[in-house]
């Protein structure tokens, strides 16, 4: 997933990814149970590199979304971003009530590490490869690359749903004053 012209996701090992998933779960348990963050130490340069990150929570039994929050710009080390976005996904997704400590055991965690946003033309968007953000006036919406794959959307459906997420008409992506930004993501989750 390296794109040196537009930035890249830190090179993560399988061990790095597993540590981040464990840290996300420990963060949920400690924060929801005690209001504290877990202590962590790492010597992995990749985990200390700034990276835009999303954390998605799903119900283990049904796969139903339970919370998803993220940031579009790399503002903090990946390890810190994962902790903060895990908390935000559990406590600050306006579509859902706050996750309770008892629920944590029944949730699957998925992490998405994003490349930097860059302008993209609608015809360049590849379903399953690109995530998209639309900005028009004061409205904006973003969908991760895995979302259209999960729901079986084609190219135009994907762009339509990005618009809907922004509170815009489904064809707003065609308007001259709409800005499309694309990105790629490395996505991994817990084994079922």
89 confidence band (pLDDT: 50, 70, 90): very high
Whole-prediction pTM: 0.88
Same domain, 92 and 62: yes
| Tens of pLDDT, residues 119-151 | 999 999 999 999 999 999 999 999 999 999 999
Q: Cα separation of 189 and 64, whole Å?
A: 15
pLDDT of 51 > 90? The answer is: yes
Half-sphere exposure (CA, 13 Å, Cβ side) for 155? 7
Q: Cα separation of 89 and 110, whole Å?
A: 11
Q: What is the pLDDT of residue 7?
A: 59
Same domain, 104 and 56: yes
- DSSP annotation of 176 reads T
Cα–Cα distances (Å) from 24 to 39, 131, 142, in that order, read: 12, 22, 22
Task: Specify the CATH number for the domain of residue 145.
Answer: 3.30.1490.150
Q: The domain containing residue 106 runs over which residues?
A: 14-115
């Amino acid at each position: 997933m390296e794109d040196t012209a537009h930035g890249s996701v830190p090179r993560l090992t399988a061990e790095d990814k597993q540590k981040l998933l464990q840290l996300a779960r420990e963060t949920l348990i400690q924060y929801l149970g005690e209001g504290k963050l877990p202590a962590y130490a790492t010597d992995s340069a990749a985990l200390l590199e700034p990276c835009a990150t999303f954390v998605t929570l799903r119900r283990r039994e049904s796969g139903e979304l339970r919370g998803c929050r993220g940031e579009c710009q790399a503002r903090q080390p990946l390890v810190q971003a994962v902790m903060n976005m895990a908390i935000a996904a559990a406590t600050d997704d306006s579509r859902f009530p706050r996750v309770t400590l008892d629920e944590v055991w029944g949730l699957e965690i998925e992490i998405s590490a994003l490349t930097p946003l860059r302008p993209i033309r609608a015809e360049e968007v590849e379903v399953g490869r690109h995530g998209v953000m639309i900005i028009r006036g004061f409205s904006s919406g973003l969908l991760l690359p895995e979302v259209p794959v999960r729901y079986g959307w084609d190219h135009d459906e994907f762009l339509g749903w990005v618009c809907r997420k922004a509170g815009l008409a489904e064809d707003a992506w065609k308007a001259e004053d709409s800005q499309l930004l694309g990105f790629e993501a490395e996505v991994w989750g817990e084994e079922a």
